[in-house]
Amino acid sequence: MTDVEKTGGKELPKELQSVDSAFADLGGLGTESITQADVETPRLKLLEALSPQLKKGNAQYLSDAEVGDWCNTATGDVWREVTTVVPCNFDTHYIEWPKTRGKGAPIVDHGEDPGILRRCMTNENNQHFLPNGNRVEETARWHLLIQNGAQWDRVLFQLTSTRLKASRKWLTAIRTETCMVDGRPWKPPLFWRAWDLRVIGDKNAKGDWSTFVAERGEQLIDLDKALIPIARAFSLDARAENLRFKPESHDGPTIEGAAVRDPQRSRQTIESGVSSTNAQTGAEMIGEPLPH
């Protein structure tokens, strides 16, 4: 079977094709000094009317993006309506923002300890404010592999406010899965299966907005066994690193991202033996930082 046949008729990106023997012993050379501070964090966002990706003239403007699209903010890749992901790690952080949201970067990431909330007052909208007026947001953080054609990319997906409800429903669905192994109940890892994130509308008395539902996809053992070590590596990396919130940058050149208009593309699978650079752990590939 050829590479083109393996990917459903689509030519593999050059970086996923076989490496010439001349480069076999040179993996990572020249990237030894790259740190997290040198790169942009790959984030998955559900675009809204005020997202910089939708504002002409903004450095992050994407000419083919629309409200309700999924977007990898680091690469400019855009998906319509549905995207396929594999969750690899989940945690909740408590982020302190300045008094006027949108007028500055996050001030402090208080990590996973909710103790900061005991110092806060809570208003009628269930928003938490410190005595100095700064706002503290409960932030659900998913470390995901997102399917991008024939490869799977690492992204950070952060949810706050009204979208925490969608995050909790997704977690509940994951926690209900139990298998029997040797006659005993066994809890699968978070990356047991892929999930389709589908955009839907939601509303309350103050307005309406886009959110999502998570729909069960194939188990990795059926989708592609080659994904299991890739997901495991990301899960271990996410838990081993001292992850801290990095403010999202709005600087840089305009990204011309291409939209994925066919939702079926997100269901393509990669054949065993087709790998991406994300298959390696940070220790194995010098210069591959964790998104955080």
Shortest CA distance to 272 belongs to which of 233, 220, 234, 236? 220
Supply 77's token pair: 């890749």
Is residue 275's pLDDT more than 70? no
Judge if pTM exceeds 0.75. no
Residue 51's CB is within 10 A of a number of other CB atoms, namely: 19
Q: Are 164 and 171 in contact (CB under 8 A)?
A: no
d(CA 148, CA 269) in angstroms, rounded, equals: 10
Percent of the chain with pLDDT over 70: 72
Question: pLDDT tens digit string along 50-66?
Answer: 899 999 989 889 988 99
Q: Are 170 and 195 in contact (CB under 8 A)?
A: yes
d(CA 50, CA 60) in angstroms, rounded, equals: 12
Q: Report residue 120's pLDDT band, with 50, 70 and 90 as the boundaries.
A: very high
d(CA 165, CA 161) in angstroms, rounded, equals: 8
- The set of residues, in sequence order, having a beta carbon less than 8 Å from that of 128 and lying 6+ positions away, is 117, 120, 121, 122, 135, 136, 137, 138
CA angle 109, 115, 116 (to 5 degrees): 50
Question: pLDDT tens digit string along 175-233?
Answer: 998 888 888 989 999 999 999 999 998 877 777 888 999 999 999 999 999 999 999 99
d(CA 279, CA 16) in angstroms, rounded, equals: 11
Is residue 10's pLDDT more than 60? no
Of the listed ranges 37-51, 108-122, 271-285, the one predicted with least confidence: 271-285
Question: pLDDT tens digit string along 232-244?
Answer: 999 988 887 644 4
DSSP tag of 64: T
